[in-house]
Every structure is written in C-alpha cells, then in structure tokens.
C-alpha cells in the first residue's frame, strides 16, 4: 500500500484531514471505496480559476489571447507534465493492473490533488501549490500539423489568405476542399487560428 506520508512530501503539503488525503489517492477502480472523482471535479475548477486570475492580473492581452494562453495551462498535456514532475501516480491506489492507469489518470490525479488541498487548506494553500507545480504546455503549431495532415493525402499544401483590418488580422485557409477562418492580433496568430479551425474540421470527419 502506498505511503501517504511520502505522497504529502511529493505534494509539498501536509494535510490536516488525512482521510481527505486518502480519498485523493484512491482510484475509481477500487470498488466500495470513495474515489477521487469528486475531487477531480473540484480541482478542475480550482485550477481554472487560479490560471484565469493569474493571467488576467498579469497581462493586458485580449480575451481571445488570454483564452488561448489559459488552454496551455489547463490542458491534459500540461496537467500530465505537472503530475509527472511530482511523481504522484506511484502513490495512487487502484485495482485492475496497469490498464487502470491509462487515459487521463495522471491529469485527473493532479486535479484531485488541487481539489483536496483547496478543501483542506483553503484558497491560499491551493494557490501556493499551483504556483509551484503548474506548468505551461507548448502552444501547438497548427500550421505544421495541418500541412502534414494535408500532405499525407495530397501533394497540395494549404492556401492562406490573410487580411489586415482595424482589429488585427483575419485569415482564411483552404485545403482538401474545405475552408476555415481565424483571427489574431498578428498575421501569424490569425493563420494559426485558421489552421487550428480547419485541422479540427478535417480530423473530426
């Protein structure tokens, strides 16, 4: 059975409510025990508020830019990286072998930890924990992803049409008989936004 005192050291936080700590590290595969799923739900909101508040206070960027930046902190990839740096999965109690740890287990566990710390120590404790552990994932290069996707299916490349207006830039991109639009403060950001939209359309077909 994992040593939860070691889990506390990994988190850098000592729980007053040890039962809450135990629930935090209990996977839903353990039938008959309270799992950390409700803590995941709470932690998702705690992380979202922390990141939103931090970005709002620290930047004069537009709503769209702030939204894009927030995604890089709350994405599955960012939360998995944060969990990996702490090594929390080694303390998780679960049943069913390694198959139980697939999917979003790592990011869910980090969310559960944030939720548990918030319940145990309040906002200040959660804020301190997230300020130490949360990481920003790299922004995906959707132009590259779109080009690779298209070139796997045809010899053509995506065609971008960008225009400057009063509010920045707008862009339309066309490929494989489909098109999508995007906006951004710069031409590059507008092209990325358009590429992201078209990539989503094509890969959802």
- Entry pTM: 0.71
Give CA–CA dist 41/153, Å, rounded.
40
- pLDDT for the residue numbered 158: 94
Give CA–CA dist 184/31, Å, rounded.
48
Active site residues: 44, 111
- pLDDT for the residue numbered 167: 74
Worst-scoring range by mean pLDDT, 59-63, 72-76, 133-137? Answer: 59-63
- pLDDT for the residue numbered 67: 85
pLDDT average, residue stretch 146-161 = 91
């Amino acid at each position: 059975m994992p040593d939860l005192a070691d889990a506390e050291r990994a988190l850098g936080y000592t729980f007053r409510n040890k039962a809450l700590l135990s629930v935090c590290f209990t996977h839903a595969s353990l039938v008959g025990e309270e799992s950390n799923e409700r803590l995941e739900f709470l932690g998702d909101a705690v992380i979202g508020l922390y990141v939103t508040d931090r970005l709002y206070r620290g930047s004069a960027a537009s709503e769209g830019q702030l939204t894009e930046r927030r995604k890089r902190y709350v994405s599955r990839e960012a939360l998995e990286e944060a969990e990996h740096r702490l090594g929390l999965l080694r303390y998780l109690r679960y049943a069913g072998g390694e198959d139980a740890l697939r999917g979003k287990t790592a990011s869910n566990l980090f969310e559960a930890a944030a939720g548990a710390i918030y319940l145990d120590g309040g906002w200040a404790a959660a804020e301190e924990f997230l300020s130490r552990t949360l990481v920003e994932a790299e922004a995906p290069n959707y132009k590259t992803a779109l080009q690779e996707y298209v070139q796997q299916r045809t010899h053509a490349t995506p065609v971008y049409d960008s225009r400057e207006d009063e509010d920045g830039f707008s862009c339309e991109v066309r490929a494989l008989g489909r098109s999508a639009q995007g906006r951004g403060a710069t031409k590059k950001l507008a092209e990325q936004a358009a590429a992201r939209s078209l990539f989503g359309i094509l890969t959802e077909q």
